[in-house]
């Protein structure tokens, strides 16, 4: 009795199994993007564009597929975004030499340098024929003893009663003759407003190697009197992260100082805030969540400012936090002191795209497709496509270029598939028949067991 029952159940369920294993084709996805490639290569890579994140319907990007010109699915891998390398920074003090400039436009300016055999500076002076009184315009920092890339330069100066707001440029050189710009408009800040203290004495160098650094004050402001100069180096310094910036639509909430925006599913890890009015300072908190069923989770809190001193405008630095693809965001601005006024703030979201590697099998044109909630993830591990794959040593693959996204007008809805009532009725009859057979078999086995049956 058991064998016919199991056989009938397998026959009934086999069409469902075959249907579930059928791979999706190009028309099953809401969005398509053509991929331009150079002929003659086997593997290509490209960064996922913003439209892929906003159009994908799965948080893990599991609905991404790639197809060739005849509609065949292609093997591909999503390169995981590696978290930043955590390493304790090490700080090294640098000798600093003041630069006194008689005039910003003096063409006879010359630098007199005395160095030791190892390249370290002994003395530095300015030669000029101008009779104008000298002006402290900046400093030359001797980094010849630093043998590793520098992540930041740290400055400390004598505090003045009025505070310090300045814009400086940082240049690097290996011979004190040829200079290259590494931070053209860096901002320095040291202000005390009541109980609030605002300081920014760090300038990012993003792993820049150099023997000498030159810090020049921009505008007509005189440089501050430095007490100390140093650089920060990382023992395991990762490659600099270059963020892409997107501008979401921001809406005011019901409460004063409350604002909401949607990230579109981008892997956001930075935020740039533009305050609507100058001379504004306000504490704020930033929250995010996946959907309305979750509670808000705080990701950052800081003091935003936009201040003008001596004709120079100083803005609060960008926020950095843990990467996440939560769509719903909430910004709360403290209303003590008036907040930021009645106008909406400007927002930009910083994000890093993932890289896709795919095998260019068959003929083109190749197509990136996405937008389907009913498919399972189909990406391979990177090591499957790339022999000896290591995140820290990514191979130099040719770059493909995604074109603009096009919506597929014939793609099925991803909410609920249309119901075929005739098919559903047939399935209901089959299931009811199986249930009746199972009940009859159970009754017969019970009767034989207690001796009441024939």
Contact 401, 18 (CB under 8 A): no
CB 218 within 8 A of CB 312: yes
Residues of the chain with CATH 2.60.120.260: 244-351
Dist. CA 251–CA 29, nearest whole Å: 31
- For 388, residues 6+ apart whose C-beta sits below 8 A from its C-beta are none
> In CATH, which of 1.10.3470, 2.60.120, 2.130.10, 3.40.50 is domain 89-234?
2.60.120
Give me the CATH code for the 244-351 domain, please: 2.60.120.260
- Nearest CA to 314 among 213, 163, 110? 163
User: Which pLDDT tens digit goes with each residue over 215-260?
Assistant: 998 877 788 888 999 998 876 655 556 789 999 999 999 999 999 9
Global pTM value: 0.66
pLDDT in tens, the chain (454 residues): 444 444 444 444 444 443 445 778 888 999 999 999 987 788 999 999 999 999 998 888 999 999 999 999 999 999 887 655 555 678 899 998 888 876 554 434 455 555 566 656 555 555 555 555 677 888 999 988 888 888 889 999 888 777 788 888 899 888 888 888 888 888 888 877 666 677 888 888 877 788 899 999 887 778 888 899 999 887 665 555 678 999 999 999 999 999 999 999 999 999 999 999 988 888 899 999 998 999 999 998 888 888 887 677 778 888 888 888 899 999 999 988 788 888 899 999 999 999 999 999 988 899 999 999 888 899 999 888 888 787 767 788 899 999 999 998 765 555 444 445 566 777 778 888 888 888 888 777 777 766 655 5
Interacting residues of 149 by C-beta distance below 8 A, sequence separation 6+: 207, 208, 209, 233, 234, 237
Strand partners, 46: 356
Q: Is the peptide bond before 365 cis (omega within 30 degrees of 0)?
A: yes
Which residue from 184, 244, 183, 178 is spatially nearest to 211, judged by alpha carbons? 178
Angle value at C-alpha 310, between 308 and 315, nearest 5 degrees: 30
DSSP code per residue over 366-414: EEEEE--TTS---PBPHHHHSTT--TTS---PPBPEEEEEEE-TTPPPS
């Amino acid at each position: 009795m058991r064998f016919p029952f199991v056989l009938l159940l397998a026959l009934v369920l086999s069409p469902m199994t075959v249907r579930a294993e059928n791979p999706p084709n190009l028309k099953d996805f809401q969005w398509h993007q053509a991929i331009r490639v150079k002929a003659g290569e086997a593997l290509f890579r490209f960064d996922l564009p913003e439209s892929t994140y906003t159009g994908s319907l799965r948080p893990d990007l599991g609905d991404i597929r790639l197809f060739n010109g005849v509609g065949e699915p292609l093997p591909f891998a999503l390169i995981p975004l590696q978290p930043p390398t955590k390493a304790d920074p090490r700080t090294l003090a640098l000798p600093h030499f003041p630069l006194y400039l008689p005039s910003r436009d003096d063409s006879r300016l010359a630098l007199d340098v005395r160095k030791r055999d190892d390249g370290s500076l002994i003395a530095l002076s300015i030669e000029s024929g101008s009779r104008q009184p000298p002006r402290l315009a900046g400093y030359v920092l001797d980094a010849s003893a630093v043998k590793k890339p520098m992540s930041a330069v740290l400055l400390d100066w004598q505090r003045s009663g009025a505070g310090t707001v300045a814009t400086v440029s940082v240049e690097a050189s290996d011979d004190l003759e040829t200079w290259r710009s590494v931070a053209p408009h860096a901002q320095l800040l040291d202000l005390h407003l009541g109980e609030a203290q605002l300081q920014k004495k760090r300038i990012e160098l993003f792993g820049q190697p150099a023997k000498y650094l030159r810090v020049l004050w921009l505008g007509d402001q005189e440089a501050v009197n430095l007490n100390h100069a140093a650089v920060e180096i990382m023992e395991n310094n990762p490659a600099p992260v270059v963020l892409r910036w997107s501008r979401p639509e921001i809406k005011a909430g019901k409460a004063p100082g409350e604002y909401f925006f949607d990230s579109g599913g981008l892997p956001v890890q930075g935020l740039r805030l533009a305050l609507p009015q100058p001379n504004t300072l306000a504490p704020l908190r930033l929250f995010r969540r996946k959907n309305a069923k979750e509670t808000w989770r705080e990701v950052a809190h800081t003091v935003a400012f936009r201040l003008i001193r001596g004709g120079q405008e100083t803005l609060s630095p960008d926020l950095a936090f843990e990467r996440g693809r939560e769509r719903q965001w909430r910004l709360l601005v403290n209303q003590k002191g008036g907040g930021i006024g009645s106008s909406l703030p400007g927002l930009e979201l910083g994000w890093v795209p993932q890289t896709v590697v795919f095998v260019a099998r068959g003929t083109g044109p190749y197509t990136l497709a996405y937008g389907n909630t009913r498919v399972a993830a189909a990406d391979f591990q990177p090591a499957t496509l790339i022999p000896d794959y290591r995140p820290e040593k990514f191979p130099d693959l040719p770059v493909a270029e995604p074109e603009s996204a096009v919506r597929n007008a014939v793609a099925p809805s991803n909410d609920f598939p249309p119901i075929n009532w005739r098919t559903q009725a047939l399935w209901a009859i089959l299931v009811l028949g199986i249930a009746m057979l199972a009940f009859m078999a159970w009754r017969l086995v019970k009767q034989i067991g207690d001796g009441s049956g024939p």
